[in-house]
Structure 1
Amino acid sequence: MATALLAGVALSGCAAEPAAELTVLGSWTDEEEAEFTRVLHDFEAASGIRTRYQGHRDVSQVLQVGIERGRPPDVAILPRLNDLQRYVNAGQLAPLKGAFTTDPAAAPQLIKLARKVGPDGNPVGGELAYAVTIATHLKSVVWYDPAELAKFGEHPPRTWEEMVSQTQRIADGQQVPWCLGMSAPPVSGWPGTDWIEDILLHDSGLVAYERWTHGDLPWTAPEIRAAWETWGALLRVSAGETARASLYTKFQVAGKGLFPREEPAASSAKRGCHLDHQGSFVIRDYRRHLAKLASSTRAASPAPSFTFFPTPPPATKTDNSSLQEVSDDVAAMFRDTEPARKLMSYLASGQAQVARRAQTQDVAFSRRTTAADYQDPVTKAVAARLHTGTLCWDGSDLLPAAMATAFERAVLVYLEAPERLDVLLTELEAVRGKLSKTEWMDLQCVPTA
């Protein structure tokens, strides 16, 4: 069956190279690591090429150490796109080769970049394919339990103003509107940067967003300031110590607040929160938590559920409702060998996506998957959104590493002391001013049709 799945991926004849072995580095650990290694086993069975996966949460640091020592992995899976630009500029990343790089079906998964040199950041030569997107996460979404929200007479808001009013009504009912957790070692703060990016995209639009991710829009610009202030205003409505408490709360733990607690009085207890702004990868955590609730005789009845609504734009800018923020996990080749090229070809294939969906119980998405590939209504809706409107990459993933780190830290300070916004934006602008133009990416938002 594995051989049939890999048909058309140019793997025939590879069984003659049983000694070949590939090292694959990625950020997936524990359950996600087990799922991905089973996908690699399908590749191994058809190709005869052994793979050795190494999972580490701080993959960027581990990869950099390997490169400096002259021992990079054959293939690395990167959660931050800007790392690609750095390695391309340094000549440390091999461009992709093979028929799959010109396959129209694989085109949405290919990341093309030009090497940049000099202080002006001008590219040298044309763009080449350097990476394959193997996982895409939808981020412009807010999760909720329909039955719980209905108790407040609420429905999914269509505008930002409606969402603010909804937040106020939940707070007026002595409930906590928003699930908020900023702790996510080793890069805490990114759940907050997701918020600001999403607001900037839907409030100021595609042009301002791209200027910002390209390093051309100052942090002190009115559009950027407005995004921070809009988020801060929503959290103040949300009330109390939610923002400060989020500094010490993991985002997975915060998201559990959507559902009843596993306590005898769970059916009558207040929910921890009612709305969760989080990427589609959180489906895995929700499912795990609901399964645990279902196995407990103390769980509330009827069974809780979850779905989402898209991040709404301001009422005066409804055209921006088609803009969506996404993040990608991408595979890149650091050793240009025939086995490595064959693995990259496989990862770009539809067969690999079939394998990933099977191993993850349909919580894996990519630019290649469609709504028809899913049975569950929620995952089907996520896949449909990935083929709707215009997709813009997560801004933090596009920023140079120093800029992204400063952004994440500023979010944490802002939640503790929002009155320091002017100082924070000035400090962020100072970081931007020290960066070379070569360090910024030129990737643009991508229409899905």
Structure 2
Amino acid sequence: MSKTRRISCLAAAASAIALAAAACGAPEEEGDDRGAVPDDATDCANYEQYGDLEGETISILGSIRDTEADEMMEAWSYFESCTGAVIEYEGSGEFESDMKVRVDGGNAPDIALFPQPGLMSNFADSLVPASEEVTSLATEGWTEDWLNYGTIDGTLYAAPHSSNAKSFIWYSPSFFSDNGYEVPQTWDELIALSDTIAADGITPWCVGFESGGATGWPGTDWIEDIVLREGTDVYDQWVTHQIPFNDPQIVTAIDKAGTILQNPDYVYNGTDTISSTPFQEAGYPILDGNCAMHRQASFYGAMWPADTEVSETGDVFAFRFPESNEGDNTMLVGGEFVAAFDDSESTEMVRQFLASELYHNARLQTGPWSTARQGVDPNNATTPINVFATEILTDPEVTVRFDGSDLMPGEVGASSFWTGMVQWADGDKTSQQMADDIEASWP
């Protein structure tokens, strides 16, 4: 790291779990795969447009911590050394509550990295709209799907930051090859493959919903993936409550998830272990040949044991969650958005930089990360799974929708939806009962 940098990263205790980060699928640690900052990022000529910011300090608050925070700060270190600015970053394990305390107390950070668009909209009255320059960079860099999530009541407030590809299913390439299994392209093919694997004496699926105080969130991703593949219109109406949570289309989607998650022949160690199995370790039996598939986001590439080769020809890799309708090309996503509470010139320059191709290419190379920023080279990513994710995320032909629970009110997306998935997985509630209860909790 540059010796001229003066950055503070106030990490919360390692045992604490940031509920918002968990819902988005952000891991605590991203491993030791840091790469070199690219030459473009080290050339001060590329920062002249941001001016002389000597003596200016810009505060950023986010939910990103530990190794991942270090890698993020490395990516903006040359912005600091070349412009003279100081970026003070604080990573919080209680981001949602901390933001409210800060803003209510008149002590908002200059910039916040919001992992939930729904949470960001709660602070719209305090946010600074995107300038013409930031709007131009955002429009150049992201598809309309992404821009919509940084927009509140027709006004763009935030350009995206990182992006996670969530519609992934992990598997062993060698296990598939050795047994003549092909990666399924449709839901029907996925079920047929699951039946074949079960008939061959291997459990098709590893599943785990346990995540401390956020237990249940991995289950919400299953429902979101299935609803999204029934149709983007249905998905959009569902997450915005234009149709109720217990709409027959949603109950049908929950039942569809149940064809896998409530099938005792499909789930490793039985369906009654789903809610108690830690999601971080749930996929590990794939390595021993004890199960064949595990549904989890691209970030899961950093959660395999250290000696695991994560690549298309390695121990494990991922394929895309199959489509239900022929011709669809969808991806469930998560990520953060760069919103500002301060309208100073220095904050504006940081916002512009964080929306730039220069920053996103640099961040790809400072550690495992993926982005939807158009113009980056996906091959700059430090791991094969992040190359794969970035290729998908930067493809303008892919229709993306943000994690539904992160768009719903907190009483639902970070509460009743989570607990409902546990009750359903445990067999205590039917799909209809779960959906009815969640609908009743909607504020």
Same fold (TM over 0.5): yes
SS of equivalent residue, structure 1 residue 238: coil
Asked if the contact 1:259/1:304 (under 8 Å) is kept, the reply is no
2:351 is matched with 344
1:163–1:348 distance in 2 versus 1, CA, 3 Å: same
1:374–1:240 distance in 2 versus 1, CA, 3 Å: closer
SS of equivalent residue, structure 1 residue 198: helix
Read off the aligned partner of 1:156 and give its amino acid letter. V
SS of equivalent residue, structure 1 residue 305: coil
Q: For 2:342, which of 335, 339, 362 is the aligned residue?
A: 335
Equivalences for residues 9-28 of structure 1 within 5 A: 10-15=49-54, 18=55, 20-28=56-64
Asked if the contact 1:152/1:170 (under 8 Å) is kept, the reply is no
Asked if the contact 2:166/2:331 (under 8 Å) is kept, the reply is yes
Read off the aligned partner of 1:276 and give its amino acid letter. H
Unaligned runs of 5+ in 1: 116-126, 261-270, 295-302, 436-449
1:240–1:357 distance in 2 versus 1, CA, 3 Å: closer
SS of equivalent residue, structure 1 residue 53: strand
TM-score, with structure 1 as normaliser: 0.80
Asked if the contact 2:158/2:337 (under 8 Å) is kept, the reply is yes
2:184 is matched with 157
SS of equivalent residue, structure 1 residue 137: strand
Distance 2:268 2:142 in 1: 47
Deviation per residue, 1:321-373 (Å, 9 max, x gap):
x1221112112112222222111111101111122111115x32233335454
Asked if the contact 1:101/1:107 (under 8 Å) is kept, the reply is no
SS of equivalent residue, structure 1 residue 253: coil
Q: For 1:214, which of 222, 240, 245 is the aligned residue?
A: 240
Deviation per residue, 1:386-424 (Å, 9 max, x gap):
213311122112112112121111111111125433222
1:370–1:336 distance in 2 versus 1, CA, 3 Å: same
1:328–1:6 distance in 2 versus 1, CA, 3 Å: farther
1:402 is matched with 411
Deviation per residue, 1:16-60 (Å, 9 max, x gap):
xx2x22221111122111111212322211221212211123311
1:176 equivalent in alignment to 2:185: no
1:97 equivalent in alignment to 2:124: no
Distance 2:142 2:188 in 1: 38
Distance 1:410 1:47 in 2: 50
1:242–1:72 distance in 2 versus 1, CA, 3 Å: farther
Asked if the contact 1:171/1:177 (under 8 Å) is kept, the reply is yes
| Per-residue deviation, 1:162 | 1.7
1:277–1:240 distance in 2 versus 1, CA, 3 Å: closer
Asked if the contact 1:6/1:346 (under 8 Å) is kept, the reply is no
2:13 is matched with none
Unaligned runs of 5+ in 2: 1-38
| Per-residue deviation, 1:145 | 1.2
Distance 2:42 2:180 in 1: 53
| Per-residue deviation, 1:170 | 2.4
Deviation per residue, 1:130-164 (Å, 9 max, x gap):
11211111112212111012333211012212211
Asked if the contact 1:139/1:326 (under 8 Å) is kept, the reply is yes
Asked if the contact 1:5/1:351 (under 8 Å) is kept, the reply is no
Distance 1:185 1:415 in 2: 16
Equivalences for residues 226-375 of structure 1 within 5 A: 226-235=252-261, 236=263, 237-239=265-267, 241-260=269-288, 271-286=289-304, 289=305, 291-293=306-308, 304-314=314-324, 317-320=325-328, 322-361=329-368, 363-368=369-374, 369-371=376-378, 373=380
1:7 equivalent in alignment to 2:46: yes
Asked if the contact 2:364/2:382 (under 8 Å) is kept, the reply is no
SS of equivalent residue, structure 2 residue 198: helix
Read off the aligned partner of 1:422 and give its amino acid letter. Q
Asked if the contact 2:159/2:338 (under 8 Å) is kept, the reply is yes
| Per-residue deviation, 1:378 | 4.1
1:411–1:199 distance in 2 versus 1, CA, 3 Å: same
SS of equivalent residue, structure 1 residue 72: coil
Distance 1:73 1:159 in 2: 45
1:330–1:279 distance in 2 versus 1, CA, 3 Å: same
SS of equivalent residue, structure 1 residue 292: coil
Asked if the contact 1:11/1:46 (under 8 Å) is kept, the reply is no
TM-score, with structure 2 as normaliser: 0.81
SS of equivalent residue, structure 1 residue 247: helix
| Per-residue deviation, 1:128 | 2.0
1:113 is matched with 151
1:40 equivalent in alignment to 2:76: yes
Distance 2:411 2:346 in 1: 34
1:52 equivalent in alignment to 2:62: no
Distance 1:189 1:31 in 2: 25
Supply the RMSD in Å over aligned alpha carbons: 2.4
Asked if the contact 1:143/1:307 (under 8 Å) is kept, the reply is yes
Distance 1:101 1:8 in 2: 19
| Per-residue deviation, 1:168 | 2.3
SS of equivalent residue, structure 1 residue 207: helix
Q: For 1:421, which of 401, 415, 431 is the aligned residue?
A: 431
Asked if the contact 1:130/1:332 (under 8 Å) is kept, the reply is yes
SS of equivalent residue, structure 1 residue 51: strand
SS of equivalent residue, structure 1 residue 252: coil
Read off the aligned partner of 1:114 and give its amino acid letter. I
2:98 is matched with 62
